[in-house]
A and B are shown apart, each in its own frame.
Chain A
Amino acid sequence: MRKGRTAAILAGLAVAVAACGNAPTTTAPTGSASAPASGGAKPLEGVTLEVAAKWTGAEQKNFEQVLKAFSDKTGAKVTYASTGEDTGAYLGPRIQGGSPPDVAILPQPGLVQQYADQDALKPLSDEVISEIDANYTPYWKELGSADGQVYGVLIKAAHKSLVWYRGQAFEDAGVQPPTTWDELVTAAQTVADSGTPPFSFCGASGWTLTDLFENVYLSTAGPENYDKLSKHEIPWTDPTVTTALEKIQQIVKNDFLVDGTSGTMQTDFPTCVSKVYGTDDAAMVIEADFVAVEAVQSGAKVGDEAKYFPFPKVGDTAPVVLGGDVAVAMKDSPGAMALLQFLASKEGGEIWAKLPGYLSPNKNVSPTNYPDELTRQLGQTIVSAGDAVRYDMSDLAPSAFGGTDGKGEWKVLQDFLRDPSDIKGAQEALESEAVKAWK
């Protein structure tokens, strides 16, 4: 009796502590579960795990289905906590408070290094690493490592070199999907003439603007300059950046934007997608493969009404920019390692692959699992992509520069979208923000 009451009080306190850590919707994790007995149908019966990731809406639902598959297999109870857009702001206080989630899914590899420096990550167990070696190319393993130690497994890839369009809008205007930048500008002009604003940008979500910049920059400046700029080895005032911004300038003029510049600045992702596929206001939205999830939400069928073309060549290189989410363990519990192993495995990847809006970096997840032909093609490009692929630049940068609302690259590119005439000013602002962030 007395023991029960103490446990209840402790649980109450734990909930209160979790609540202080900005996690009012989650149950308190119990990290110190006894080690699973070997054998048995459900080795993790009674273990509770907490997973934190930034996904909401349909992406969250899909991930929860994968978690459910893990629960069914192992018997562990897994709760999902949404970190919101700003993962660092959510995890920071919880790490400080000593109650991090068991597993966190970091949207940027840069955070792996950052948290590894803070000793907030647990090195992966040998079983997980051998699973990674079996299923991933060394490039992806590298992305989840810090200082030679493997901490994370890339569980979800995002293809960021796509332009989504509404088939009907292109048909009405009589234009074909462009393959070069100049064709894109001409097509946009024709679509605008037909009475449909060609572009819907997500001006309020700064990361969508960095994705646009990265594609243009990778294409005009080439992979080597891209790597240098990623590490801030060349300044943002470099002429290659000028060229890229000049190209962007051609498509962000007021006539091309749905609801004009000021409306664009208040449009976040995924509202910008619904402006293309929900209310049919605009013709194109430049974002990654996960637009598919939101397009389906808006009532469009992928491949039918919602189509895409590869990001057109702006310079010499056809750009392929990828993003991805890295799962890391923040508590040294057997449940956490088991979950990471499941997510890295062929089995887990294939369950997820059958759901829309997911691309697996796992080379053993056969593209035939994807629900539609277009995703199958994308999955193939990611698996077979060679050295020309680049990881999202802003996600490699310190998060003060490449991953924070109202700061760094996000803010400067938003200001540039608001007033695209001042390229020089934008470059100087980018450079001064970069100097602060890298120091």
Chain B
Amino acid sequence: MTERLDGRQAPPADAAGGPSTGPAAPPSKKSRLGPSPAVAIAFLLPAALLLGIWVVYPIVYSLFRSLFDATGQGFVGLGNYATIFTDSGMLTTIRNNLIWVVVAPIVVTTLGLIFAVLTERIRWATAFKLIVFMPMAVSLMAAGVIFRLVYEENPDRGVANAILTTVHDTFSSAQGYPEARPREGDQSQVADQNGAVVTKQPAQAGQPVLIPIVGVRPEFMPSDAQPARAPAAGDGLAGTVWFDFTPGGGGVNGAVDGSERGLPGMTVEAVGSGGEVAATATTAEDGTFQFEGLPAGSYTVRLPQSNFEASYGGLTWLGPTLITPAIIGAFVWVWAGFAMVLIAAGLAAIPRDALEAARIDGASEWQVFRKITVPLLSPVLLVVFVTMIINTLKVFDLVFIIAPASVQPQANVVALEMWRVSFGGGGNQGLGSALAIFLLILVLPFMIMNIRRFRRGDS
């Protein structure tokens, strides 16, 4: 296979030596049909020259440069290549590239196929295709800027989290005081226990339970909250939950001072000695609560964690864990339209009679799709797939723009690392060249594969 490939894919310099009678015909040395070698050389020279300057020379020079250190003076042999495979940051980079190559082309090709097949059936196919294809008109850089905004963590700014929180809040909405916590310390009656607030000592009936809370964000403070007051000493178990912070400072910690406000709507539980909830109460506008119909005994008072749950804020898209999937999402948005258009073109070329014959024979639509459409489309699918692999291997701009600087090491890919190593910071163009050659070696098999497919398609 390789021999045949080499034979047919002779580089321009060699081809210039012999006659070239067209790409499909085997070269024949004995009977010449084409022009003389001189004419052939004259015609090939401009192309060969340009390719030499812009393709061959840079590759050869990169290869040469990759054997030297940062200054370009010291010969390091394969040292730069050894660095690529030993440095932990580089290994993350290579791992990320693997994820990209495995995930992105499959998702893009599958989505493209689904869109292409479905648009055949709908009335507004052209409009739909236009919309899906439109991201192709946006440069990758602009797409990166767009998705940087989409993935903003704050739901007020980032669309992704705005959708997530809206969906989440329609099912369950948080009610309470997120990020608030008890005022702790030796003189405090209460302590934090796994997010819930509990009294340290069992509470006694007739003795009010004071639960000081601090760190209540202004936006979560209910407008109907009244100044806190200690409950009237009665016979039942009662107490006060209040915001133990006097605006402007002052006030005694752990004591209900004049201007401090109660925290209404808190759920309070009286927990028996066996850990069972004996009674539940809700605080009033002044923060007081009272357990009704509670049998005499010793109870711990607890504010369950549900009082302090933060409202759902969506996902940290731009954090270290989700960053690569998030950027792949942006990549899919850009390229799905391209895949769809190519596949749709292939779809249009499928002979209708094969599909109709299958339908007449009683095949279901799914069977037609699986047994007829996909096999007939496979050459196009492969071209799209391989093109996407090459695109993912050299992905640069999206990662550079979407990943915030603090997670760039986690989101890094080979092409970005190559640029960063060569021109950013260290200025180590030896290592950068080694990375470039590494990338070239990764891309090469897919390039050859694509070229071969195109040739087969031609003949």
Residues of A within 8 A of B (CB): 85-86, 88-89, 92-93, 114, 171-175, 190, 192-196, 203-206, 255, 259, 262-263, 265-266, 268, 398-400, 403-408, 410-411, 414, 418, 437
Distance in Å from the Cβ of B358 to the closest Cβ of chain A? Answer: 53
Partner of A195, one of B153, B245, B412: B245
With the chains together, A252 CA to B404 CA distance in Å?
Answer: 20
- Cβ–Cβ < 8 Å partners of B320 in chain A: 418
* In contact, B404 and A194 (Cβ under 8 angstroms): no
Partner of B426, one of A262, A268, A404: A404
* In contact, A192 and B215 (Cβ under 8 angstroms): yes
B85 contacts the other chain (CB 8 A): no
Distance in Å from the Cβ of B152 to the closest Cβ of chain A? Answer: 8
* In contact, B426 and A405 (Cβ under 8 angstroms): no
**Contact residues of A: prevailing secondary structure:** helix
- Cβ–Cβ < 8 Å partners of A405 in chain B: 405, 408, 420, 424-425
B2 contacts the other chain (CB 8 A): no
* In contact, A265 and B404 (Cβ under 8 angstroms): yes
- Cβ–Cβ < 8 Å partners of B248 in chain A: 171-174
* In contact, A193 and B246 (Cβ under 8 angstroms): no
- Cβ–Cβ < 8 Å partners of B216 in chain A: 195
* In contact, B153 and A262 (Cβ under 8 angstroms): yes
With the chains together, A411 CA to B179 CA distance in Å?
Answer: 29
B379 contacts the other chain (CB 8 A): no
Distance in Å from the Cβ of A258 to the closest Cβ of chain B? Answer: 10
* In contact, B424 and A193 (Cβ under 8 angstroms): no
Distance in Å from the Cβ of B91 to the closest Cβ of chain A? Answer: 15
* In contact, A400 and B215 (Cβ under 8 angstroms): no
Given contacts A195-B218, A204-B405, A265-B406, contact A407 B425 (CB under 8 A): yes
With the chains together, A171 CA to B246 CA distance in Å?
Answer: 11
Mask: chain B, 363-391; 1 = CB below 8 Å from A; 0 = not: 00000000000000000000000000000
Given contacts A88-B427, A405-B424, contact A174 B246 (CB under 8 A): yes
Q: How many A-B residue pairs have CB under 8 A?
A: 114
B247 contacts the other chain (CB 8 A): yes
Q: Which 10 A-B pairs have the closest CB atoms?
A: A174-B249, A404-B425, A400-B426, A193-B214, A406-B408, A89-B424, A405-B405, A204-B404, A406-B409, A204-B406
* In contact, B316 and A406 (Cβ under 8 angstroms): no
Distance in Å from the Cβ of B411 to the closest Cβ of chain A? Answer: 9
- Cβ–Cβ < 8 Å partners of A259 in chain B: 153-154
Given contacts A265-B319, A266-B153, A266-B318, contact A195 B217 (CB under 8 A): yes
With the chains together, A204 CA to B407 CA distance in Å?
Answer: 8
Q: Which of B251-306 contact A (CB under 8 A)?
A: none
* In contact, B217 and A193 (Cβ under 8 angstroms): no
Partner of B406, one of A86, A174, A266, A408: A266
With the chains together, A199 CA to B404 CA distance in Å?
Answer: 20
B310 and chain A: residue at smallest CB distance:
A260
* In contact, B405 and A206 (Cβ under 8 angstroms): yes
- Of the A-B pairs whose beta carbons lie under 8 Å apart in the complex, a sample of 17, sorted by A's number, is A88-B425, A88-B427, A89-B423, A92-B423, A171-B248, A173-B245, A193-B244, A194-B245, A205-B405, A255-B179, A265-B406, A404-B424, A406-B408, A406-B409, A406-B412, A407-B409, A418-B406
Partner of A206, one of B153, B214, B406: B406
Given contacts A86-B425, A399-B426, A404-B426, contact A268 B405 (CB under 8 A): yes
With the chains together, A259 CA to B155 CA distance in Å?
Answer: 12
With the chains together, A36 CA to B19 CA distance in Å?
Answer: 61
With the chains together, A313 CA to B412 CA distance in Å?
Answer: 39
- Cβ–Cβ < 8 Å partners of A114 in chain B: 427
B229 contacts the other chain (CB 8 A): no
Distance in Å from the Cβ of A283 to the closest Cβ of chain B? Answer: 12
B253 and chain A: residue at smallest CB distance:
A193
With the chains together, A255 CA to B215 CA distance in Å?
Answer: 9
Distance in Å from the Cβ of B285 to the closest Cβ of chain A? Answer: 19
With the chains together, A89 CA to B154 CA distance in Å?
Answer: 31
B404 and chain A: residue at smallest CB distance:
A204
Q: Which of B434-458 contact A (CB under 8 A)?
A: none
Given contacts A192-B215, A266-B153, A406-B408, contact A88 B424 (CB under 8 A): yes
Partner of A88, one of B412, B419, B423: B423
- Cβ–Cβ < 8 Å partners of B214 in chain A: 192-195
With the chains together, A205 CA to B154 CA distance in Å?
Answer: 18
* In contact, B404 and A193 (Cβ under 8 angstroms): no
With the chains together, A85 CA to B250 CA distance in Å?
Answer: 45
Distance in Å from the Cβ of B201 to the closest Cβ of chain A? Answer: 23
With the chains together, A403 CA to B424 CA distance in Å?
Answer: 9
- Cβ–Cβ < 8 Å partners of B408 in chain A: 405-406
Distance in Å from the Cβ of B10 to the closest Cβ of chain A? Answer: 32
Distance in Å from the Cβ of A172 to the closest Cβ of chain B? Answer: 6
With the chains together, A78 CA to B210 CA distance in Å?
Answer: 69
Q: Which of B117-154 contact A (CB under 8 A)?
A: 153-154
With the chains together, A187 CA to B183 CA distance in Å?
Answer: 15
With the chains together, A89 CA to B405 CA distance in Å?
Answer: 15
With the chains together, A121 CA to B340 CA distance in Å?
Answer: 53
* In contact, A89 and B425 (Cβ under 8 angstroms): yes
* In contact, A411 and B245 (Cβ under 8 angstroms): no
B248 and chain A: residue at smallest CB distance:
A174
With the chains together, A157 CA to B124 CA distance in Å?
Answer: 62
Distance in Å from the Cβ of A2 to the closest Cβ of chain B? Answer: 25
With the chains together, A227 CA to B399 CA distance in Å?
Answer: 37
Q: Which of B161-179 contact A (CB under 8 A)?
A: 179
Partner of B245, one of A193, A203, A204, A262: A193
With the chains together, A171 CA to B247 CA distance in Å?
Answer: 8
With the chains together, A205 CA to B408 CA distance in Å?
Answer: 12
- Cβ–Cβ < 8 Å partners of A93 in chain B: 423
Distance in Å from the Cβ of B339 to the closest Cβ of chain A? Answer: 30
- Cβ–Cβ < 8 Å partners of A406 in chain B: 405-406, 408-409, 412, 420
